[in-house]
Amino acid sequence: MTAIDPKPLTNALPPLSSEEILEIGGKCLLGNVNRLPLAFVRGEGTRLYDAEGREYLDFVQGVAVCAFGHAPAFMAEVLKEQAGKLVQVSNLYYNEPLVRLAKLLTEASGLPRAFFSNSGAEANECAFKMARKHGFDRDGLKRTNIVSAINSFHGRTMGAISLTGQEKLHEGFRPLVPGISFVPYGDLPALDKAVDDTVAGVILEPVQGEGGVAVPPEGYLGDAAKLIRDRGALLILDEVQTGLGRTGEDFAFRHFDVTPDILTLGKALGSGYPIGATLSSEDASKALGPGSHSTTVGGAPLSMAVALELATRILDPAFLEDVRAKGRHLKDGLDLLKSRFPELVSEVRGIGLLLGLALGSPAEGYSVALRDRGILVNATAGNVLRFLPPLTVSVSEIDYLLDALAAVLSLKPRE
């Protein structure tokens, strides 16, 4: 038997320059993403560094993924320790980190059943199947329809993209999964009209992140939940972006005094390690019996150990209070900018550290201007600058962003 060298073989590879990374990537990667001409080789907390050592303050953080910033030391330690013990055993067996994480999340959410996958999109696929099967078990093929919201985003698989209420993302992929309809987000009369005895479930985001950081009207989610359940359907809340501390609560549904039948998580749960979770009520969970749904790597000890450490830290009440305080500070600063630049800024949106600045013109130019100053901010929904710092961001870093944003807004508006 040939012995395996324990030393990584790739350590001897010579480092690439930013230009070389971009050149190779342009030749070898699928052209399905409009990547910016930036390449990063190292990160630490709120900072990213390219091969030449240029530093960027990152208010994107993998699009709300890196809850503790880049390369937190404790995460590397957990990965190292668990990788030395057990990486994967398949879902044919139990493993300790799996059941510990399931216990933590089910007790925190009040939803007693958990399924783990590899991404938020997969978590939504599971929720989709669960709702449809639940409706079928109740009323047969009559009750298999799903209602979603216009401007929603639920992922890129065929099922998740079919649930996504953005026509531009459907182009070229039709026919989509049938039986899905869309209503305006936050419009209760429209939802009332759409949910009948053919609907198995309704999927909503507590805050529409990709849809421009849209927050529902007061009372909407509570009224929607009652309407949906009164008609025999399930309420699915997609908290892939909002869940686990992003809004200053363990789950964003706390802000709206409502608990879903199915809850989906991702992003912060792995903070860069691929993971998704679908939590559900006992009644909803019965729809997926043995053999009805699974995944090869979901629930693997390595991912479960990392997520267990991350979720334990995020769910600490003192940690969440700190997130709320910094969210208020950032929002107050954005509100001040709105008052200073009323001709440019139309609205400040969001909750906690998921905030957006809606502009009266395209946001991309302002995002580029900030990037030129060494600050990364995401432009979404055409005219919204979205701010997604790590949950560990400092007040001084927030103030640095606000000062730079004020300087950029003072310039001639960009088209």
Long-range contacts of 372-377 (CB under 8 A, 24+ apart): 373/404, 373/407, 373/408, 374/54, 374/55, 374/56, 374/57, 375/56, 375/57, 375/59, 375/400, 375/401, 375/404, 376/48, 376/56, 376/57, 376/58, 376/59, 376/60, 377/59, 377/60, 377/401
CA distance 260 to 239: 11
Active-site option among 58, 238, 250, 261: 238
> Of 250, 313, 311, 267, whose CA–CA distance to 110 is shortest?
250
For residue 197, indicate whether it is catalytic.
no
For residue 238, indicate whether it is catalytic.
yes
SS3 state at 207: coil
Active-site option among 58, 253, 256, 267: 267
What ranges in 231-343 are assigned the alpha helix state H? 282-285, 301-314, 317-340
CA distance 197 to 139: 9
Letter for the amino acid at 114?
A
For residue 153, indicate whether it is catalytic.
yes
CA distance 208 to 212: 6
CA distance 352 to 284: 30
Under 8 Å between Cβ of 209 and 185 = no
> Of 215, 226, 151, whose CA–CA distance to 184 is shortest?
151
Active-site option among 115, 128, 153, 182: 153
CB contact set of 321 (below 8 Å; sequence gap of 6+): 248
Beta strands in 86-233 (DSSP E): 113-117, 145-149, 180-183, 199-204
Phi, psi of 123 (to 5 degrees): -60, -40
Instruction: List, by residue number, the catalytic residues.
Output: 153, 238, 267
